[in-house]
């Protein structure tokens, strides 16, 4: 790097910036994503169509949106394992209210309202009752799913009104981009601004880095954590809404096949430290895209759905190893 | 284990009672014991079937798989690591052991192969976590996917029992002196590792390693070796659970055990073992497993919609953690 940065001309500043960026986590992830895309490009001819990528972005939007909330919460050192069950809560609530009121908007509002409600409960239990968030939300993973099972008796709830506008929102495009993806990108951009440009965002990093220090320096730790639990459950509710649009039914098993694990895997792959305080939302987006692209590519190749699991698992190990390797290099460079 | 400030009285019985009261009121184990006892009394009153030898046998047999895995998981969690891959182990060990039994008709060989898979996966887990320095939650979540994939790669359908070895069926369904074998395995594993954890050097090492790895290293404790033992132990016990499960199901199914890891880890955490390591209780794990099993059993006996099982499991976890949190705060204020 020192070799690159002798002169002061624009070119070398640019080269220096580029060189520095290439050593970041995000660059490593972007290279990994490109490698995955190129690999499938070579192995599977059907991935050479543009359509495949737009489809991928549409399908991955719920994961992206849920990952925003999970990322913010994990940056502050807390967890929410219940997001998979939240999808079903939102989905069933939405369609039940559709059928009960014959109003699409009331259904959407009711469905989205489940997020802040569940999030507030988590926030109260963790910040007021001082309960461990991982175990608490493991409990609500079961409790929420169970309540949905009891309420629906494990039968899907059909939208009797057939609100086509509702379902169209999933399948329509804005220009070439799928609407759900546009929503996801807007939410990511807003959250990125909040995380990097506001005091609230800096406080989240401070809490995750050292909670006691943050509290002593006057940061309202409990209030911020409470808000983050609400944000996390709400982003899961938005994901649940999008998945409900996709099928038009209230599905009791929505998100039950390890949605929370896939999202957390993407977030961790993106470089968010499990202990909090470290990582960026850009990394999360890349992490989710890498896992999504891998799954889609393998699916297109006709690989057994469950063999996909093996590959996804291996990629996770590879990526996390990359992070720890990267950390070691950074330490080395500083010396 | 017990706080020395609790024993104030002089006589033996008085001392015992104060200690018992302290245990009941001031520990997570006590809280769990109280909840389990309350539910048992309630179910005994509500259902004539509940407190019969037969039903208790069924209840304990059903929880034996989770319990045996949870014993290993308790030690691993105390040492500061975790293993999420135990759910997929139920499937992979099951299909491999059944196919070995079918082709060789040699029960000992089948069991050895099953336990060997446990050792191998445990070693891989510890290699990824300890050598590559990857957080064990992530490493074993990845292994959860990989081992599940291996089970599906091994067979596309379930493997039926064609060897008809009678002893094999006995493992999960037989009785010894009137007690079901799974319960005997469960109690034996529990007792052995209760003593290992509380009475041996290894047990003290596990606590030390989990509480403060740096201090443990400085004190000359082989930190990596202790953690590796924890990983291998958990995996082998998960494989043992899988063999019992296989015998009970009488077929090797590649999709079995989804969510098993959450149940086992949930029970350990519910039992009062800390996620951050260094602190935990084998008795707590035992009571937590018993609590979850009792709830499932009770819901069936009282003829409640079985969907409630999932909801009640979740609510009980939340209530237990809530009680524990309140207890900790109360002690903190004292």
Average model confidence (pLDDT) for chain B? Answer: 88
Q: Spell out which residues of chain B touch residue A290, defining contact as CB-CB under 8 Å.
A: none
- Residue of A276, A306, A326 for testing the chain B interface, max B β-carbons within 10 Å: A306
CA distance A273 to A204: 13
Q: How far away is chain A from the Cα of B140, in angstroms, using its nearest Cα? A: 9
A128 near B329, Cβ under 8 Å? no
Please, what are the averages of pLDDT over each run of 10 residues along chain B (334 residues)? 46 83 80 90 92 92 95 95 93 95 93 97 94 82 87 87 89 90 96 95 95 92 95 97 95 87 86 83 93 90 84 82 76 56
DSSP A115-177: HHHHHHHHHIIIIIS---HHHHHHHHHHHHHHHHHHHHTT-PEE-TT--HHHHHHHH-EETTE
Flag if B150 and A320 touch (Cβ within 8 Å). no
A130 near B328, Cβ under 8 Å? yes
pLDDT of residue B188: 97
Q: Spell out which residues of chain B touch residue A306, defining contact as CB-CB under 8 Å.
A: 148-149, 151-153, 254
E-strand ranges in chain A read 157-158, 173-174, 177-178, 249-250
Q: Spell out which residues of chain A touch residue B151, defining contact as CB-CB under 8 Å.
A: 306
DSSP B42-96: HHHHH-TTTTSHHHHHHHHHHHHHHHHHHHHHHHHHHTT----THHHHHHHHHHH
CA distance A286 to A319: 11
CA distances to B56, B68, B114, B249 from B169, in Å = 21, 19, 16, 9
> What's the CATH architecture for A27-334?
Orthogonal Bundle (1.10)
pLDDT of residue B5: 45
Flag if B275 and A138 touch (Cβ within 8 Å). no
Cβ-in-10-Å burial (0-12, 13-18, 19+) of A253 comes to middle
DSSP B178-243: TEEHHHHHHHHHHHHHHHHHHHSHHHHHHHHHHH-HHHHHHTT--HHHHHHHHHHHHHHHHHHHHH
Flag if B145 and A309 touch (Cβ within 8 Å). yes
Q: Is B176 helix (H, G, I), strand (E, B) or coil?
A: strand
Give the residue ranges of chain A where pLDDT is below 50.
Answer: 1-7, 334-335
Q: Spell out which residues of chain A touch residue B144, defining contact as CB-CB under 8 Å.
A: 261, 313
Cβ-in-10-Å burial (0-12, 13-18, 19+) of B136 comes to buried
| Distance separating the N- and C-terminal Cα atoms of chain A | 14
pLDDT of residue A1: 40
Q: Is A178 helix (H, G, I), strand (E, B) or coil?
A: strand
CA quadruple B310, B313, B317, B322: dihedral sign: positive
- A83 token code pair: 């997001």
CA quadruple A265, A270, A274, A280: dihedral sign: negative
Q: Compute φ and ψ for B274, nearest 5 degrees.
A: -85, 145
Q: How far away is chain A from the Cα of B333, in angstroms, using its nearest Cα? A: 14
On the CB side of B53, CA atoms within 13 Å amount to 5
pLDDT of residue B6: 44
Of B128, B269, B311, the CB nearest to A147: B311
Flag if A150 and B311 touch (Cβ within 8 Å). yes
On the CB side of B38, CA atoms within 13 Å amount to 7
CA distance A258 to B255: 14
Q: How far away is chain A from the Cα of B179, in angstroms, using its nearest Cα? A: 32
Q: Which of A279, A229, A276, A211 is nearest to A81 (CA)?
A: A229
pLDDT of residue A332: 52
pLDDT of residue A7: 45
CA distance A63 to A265: 11
Q: What is the ipTM of this complex?
A: 0.80
Q: Which of B157, B189, B174, B164 is nearest to B65 (CA)?
A: B189
Q: Spell out which residues of chain A touch residue B328, defining contact as CB-CB under 8 Å.
A: 130
Residues A48, A54, A60, A66, Cα dihedral to 10°? 150
Flag if A142 and B139 touch (Cβ within 8 Å). no
Residues A244, A250, A256, A261, Cα dihedral to 10°? 30
pLDDT of residue A218: 94
Flag if B142 and A314 touch (Cβ within 8 Å). yes
pLDDT of residue A321: 76
CA distance A129 to B224: 36
Q: Which helix (H) or strand (E) holds A300?
A: helix A281-300
pLDDT digits over B82-102, tens only?
Answer: 998 999 999 999 999 999 999
How far is C-alpha A186 from the geometric centre of its chain's CA atoms?
A: 14
Flag if B152 and A268 touch (Cβ within 8 Å). no
Flag if A317 and B128 touch (Cβ within 8 Å). yes
CA quadruple A259, A261, A267, A272: dihedral sign: positive
- B58 token code pair: 């069924």
- Residue of B31, B127, B132, B141 for testing the chain A interface, max A β-carbons within 10 Å: B141
pLDDT of residue A191: 97
pLDDT of residue A239: 97
- Residue of B140, B292, B311 for testing the chain A interface, max A β-carbons within 10 Å: B311
pLDDT digits over A4-35, tens only?
Answer: 444 456 677 888 877 777 777 788 889 889 99
pLDDT of residue B9: 47
CA distance B249 to B252: 8
Q: Spell out which residues of chain A touch residue B157, defining contact as CB-CB under 8 Å.
A: none
pLDDT of residue A16: 81
pLDDT of residue B269: 84
Percentage, residues of chain A above pLDDT 70: 93
Q: Spell out which residues of chain A touch residue B269, defining contact as CB-CB under 8 Å.
A: 132, 134-135, 138
Domain boundaries of chain B, sorted by first residue:
65-281
CA distances to A35, A299, B146, B298 from A43, in Å = 12, 12, 22, 54
pLDDT of residue B194: 96
């Amino acid at each position: 790097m020192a070799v690159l940065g002798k002169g002061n001309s624009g070119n070398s500043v640019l080269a220096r910036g580029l060189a520095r960026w290439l050593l970041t986590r995000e660059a490593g992830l972007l290279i990994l994503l490109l490698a995955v895309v190129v690999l499938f490009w070579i192995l599977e001819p059907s991935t050479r169509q543009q359509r495949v990528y737009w489809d991928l972005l549409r399908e991955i939007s719920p994961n992206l949106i849920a990952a925003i909330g999970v990322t913010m919460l994990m940056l502050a050192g807390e967890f929410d394992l219940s997001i998979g069950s939240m999808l079903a809560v939102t989905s069933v609530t939405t369609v039940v209210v559709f059928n009960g009121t014959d109003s699409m908007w009331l259904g959407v509002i009711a469905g989205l309202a489940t997020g802040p409600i569940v999030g507030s409960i988590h926030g109260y239990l963790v910040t007021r009752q001082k309960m461990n968030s991982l175990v608490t939300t493991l409990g609500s993973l079961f409790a929420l799913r169970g309540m949905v099972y009891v309420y629906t008796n494990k039968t899907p709830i059909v939208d009797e009104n057939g609100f086509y506008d509702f379902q169209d929102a999933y399948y329509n495009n804005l220009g070439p981009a799928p609407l759900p993806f546009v929503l996801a990108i807007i939410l990511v951009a807003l959250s990125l601004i909040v995380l990097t440009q506001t005091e609230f965002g800096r406080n989240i990093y401070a809490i995750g880095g050292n909670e006691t220090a943050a509290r002593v320096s006057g940061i309202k730790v409990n209030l911020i954590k409470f808000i983050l639990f609400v944000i996390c459950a709400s982003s899961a509710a938005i994901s649940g809404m999008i998945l409900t649009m996709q099928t038009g039914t209230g599905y009791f098993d929505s998100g039950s096949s390890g949605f929370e694990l896939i999202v957390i895997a993407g977030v961790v792959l993106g470089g968010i430290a499990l202990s909090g305080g470290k990582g960026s939302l850009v990394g999360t987006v890349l992490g989710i895209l890498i896992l999504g692209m891998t799954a889609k590519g393998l699916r297109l190749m006709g690989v057994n759905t469950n063999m996909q699991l093996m590959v996804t698992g291996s990629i996770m190990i590879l990526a996390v190893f990359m992070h720890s390797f990267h950390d070691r290099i950074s330490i080395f460079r500083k010396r | 284990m017990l706080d020395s400030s609790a024993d104030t009285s002089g006589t033996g019985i008085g001392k015992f009672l104060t200690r018992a009261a302290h245990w009941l009121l001031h520990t997570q184990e006590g809280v769990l014991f109280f909840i389990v006892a309350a539910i048992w009394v309630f179910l005994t009153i509500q259902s004539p079937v509940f407190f019969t030898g037969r039903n208790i046998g069924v209840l304990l047999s059903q929880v034996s798989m989770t319990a045996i895995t949870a014993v290993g998981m308790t030690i691993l969690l105390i040492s500061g690591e975790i293993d999420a891959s135990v759910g997929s182990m139920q499937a992979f060990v099951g299909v491999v052991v059944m196919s070995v039994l079918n082709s060789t008709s040699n029960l000992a060989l089948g069991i050895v192969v099953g336990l060997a898979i446990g050792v191998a996966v445990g070693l891989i887990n510890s290699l990824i976590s300890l050598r590559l320095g990857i957080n064990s939650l992530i490493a074993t979540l990845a292994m959860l996917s990989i081992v599940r994939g291996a089970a599906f790669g091994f067979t596309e359908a379930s493997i039926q029992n064609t060897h008809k070895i009678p002893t094999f069926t006995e493992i999960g369904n037989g009785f010894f002196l009137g007690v079901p074998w799974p319960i005997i395995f469960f109690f034996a594993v529990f007792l052995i590792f209760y003593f290992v954890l509380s009475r041996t050097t290894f047990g003290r090492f596990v606590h030390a390693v989990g509480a403060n790895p740096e201090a443990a290293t400085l004190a000359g404790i082989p930190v990596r070796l202790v953690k590796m033992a924890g990983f291998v132990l958990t995996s082998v016990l998960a494989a043992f659970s899988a063999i019992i499960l296989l015998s009970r199901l009488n077929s090797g199914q590649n999709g079995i055990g989804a969510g098993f890891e959450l149940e086992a880890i949930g029970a350990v955490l519910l039992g009062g073992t800390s996620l951050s390591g260094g602190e935990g209780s084998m008795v707590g794990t035992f009571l937590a497993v018993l609590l979850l099993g009792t709830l499932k059993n009770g819901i069936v006996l009282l003829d409640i919609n079985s969907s409630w099982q999932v909801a009640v499991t979740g609510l009980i976890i939340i209530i237990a953690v809530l009680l524990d949190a309140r207890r900790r705060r109360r002690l903190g204020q004292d």
